[in-house]
């Protein structure tokens, strides 16, 4: 089918779908544009996920695009659908970053809360409380708690990973600078020194700021340029690592 034909058929099918709501028209539209999904899915094929899975994920994006497309806007459907499909694929990879399978609803709420925490922290000059967060997000306190719990399941595996939970956030290692991280106060915990020495600079700094300089997580977050939740996760992980070190099998 030529591009011209496909465009004409697409228009016709959309007109019919909108007037009749016939699910068959929706299917036909999906089949017609499957090659677009395949094309876009291939762009993600080197990331260790089976192509079939990616096509399936992309198809979800395609269906969303079909349901949302507005003929009157005057743009071609493929132009409209591409970002939706790519968005779905990106989200799939983002979701893969969760170490424990967390329901999509909670993941999204958790990411949304993360942004709200940053905003409220700035507005209030301190970290928000759960009731404040719930109010700002328009959800119940229980939902906030549930989402915060699930946020703990987010794996933070690489220092080079973008900081915060924003996909496009810049790497923040460079923001740490050459500040004194000698951890002088830690010197007399001789048994811990070799373990602490193995921590990346940022982790050393966070450890020092929280436990020896008595800085709050929010302040550290601001200082280091990552979210408070990220600071919390890193601190938990550092302590866990040090405890394992105590038991003789540490690996950070």
Partner 1 sequence: MVFDTVSLTIPATAGHLAILRTTVGGFAARDQFTLDQVDDLRMAVEEAAVQLLRQSRGQRLNMDIETTDLGVEVRLLAQVDGDDPIIDEGSFSWTILRALADDIHVESKAQRATITLSKHRLTIPGGSAERDSR
Burial class (CB in 10 A: 0-12, 13-18, 19+), 207: buried
**Minimum CB distance to partner 1 smaller for 39 or for 189:** 189
Handedness of CA 46, 52, 58, 60 (dihedral sign): negative
d(CA 112, CA 189): 39
Q: Is 217 in the site for partner 1 (CB under 8 A)?
A: yes
* Widest Cα–Cα separation across the chain: 77
d(CA 53, CA 95): 14
Three-state SS for 97? coil
DSSP single-letter state for residue 170: P
- Residues that contact partner 1, how many (by CB under 8 A): 30
Residue 95 beta carbon to partner 1: minimum distance, rounded to whole angstroms: 22
By CB under 8 A, what part of segment 54-83 binds partner 1?
none
Q: Is 153 in the site for partner 1 (CB under 8 A)?
A: no
Residue 225 beta carbon to partner 1: minimum distance, rounded to whole angstroms: 17
Instruction: Count CB-CB contacts under 10 A for residue 87.
Output: 14
Q: Is 228 in the site for partner 1 (CB under 8 A)?
A: yes
Residue 196 beta carbon to partner 1: minimum distance, rounded to whole angstroms: 10
Q: Is 140 in the site for partner 1 (CB under 8 A)?
A: no
Q: Is 110 in the site for partner 1 (CB under 8 A)?
A: no
Which residues would be at the binding site for partner 1 (CB under 8 A)? 117, 126-131, 133, 141, 144-145, 148-149, 189, 192, 210-212, 214, 216-218, 228-229, 232, 235-236, 239, 242-243
């Amino acid at each position: 089918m030529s591009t011209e034909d496909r465009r004409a058929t697409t228009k016709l099918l959309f007109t019919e779908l909108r007037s009749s709501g016939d699910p068959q028209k929706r299917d036909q539209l999906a089949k017609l544009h499957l090659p677009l999904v395949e094309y876009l899915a291939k762009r993600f094929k080197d990331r260790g996920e089976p192509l079939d899975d990616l096509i399936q994920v992309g198809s979800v994006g395609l269906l969303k695009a079909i349901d949302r497309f507005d003929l009157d806007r005057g743009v071609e459907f493929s132009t409209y659908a591409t970002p939706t499909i790519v968005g779905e694929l990106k989200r799939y990879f983002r979701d893969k970053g969760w170490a424990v399978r967390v329901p999509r609803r909670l993941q999204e709420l958790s990411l949304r809360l993360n942004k709200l925490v940053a905003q409220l922290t700035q507005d209030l000059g301190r970290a928000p409380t759960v009731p404040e967060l719930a109010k700002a997000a328009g959800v119940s306190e229980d939902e906030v708690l549930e989402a915060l719990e699930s946020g703990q399941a987010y794996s933070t595996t690489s220092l080079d990973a973008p900081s915060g939970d924003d996909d496009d956030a810049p790497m923040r290692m460079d923001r740490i600078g050459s500040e004194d991280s000698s951890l002088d106060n830690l010197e007399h915990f001789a048994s811990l020194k070799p373990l602490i020495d193995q921590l990346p600079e940022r982790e050393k700094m966070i450890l020092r700021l929280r436990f020896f300089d008595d800085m709050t997580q929010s302040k550290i977050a601001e200082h280091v340029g990552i979210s408070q939740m990220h600071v919390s996760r890193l601190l938990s992980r550092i302590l866990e690592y040090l405890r394992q070190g105590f038991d003789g099998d540490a690996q950070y």
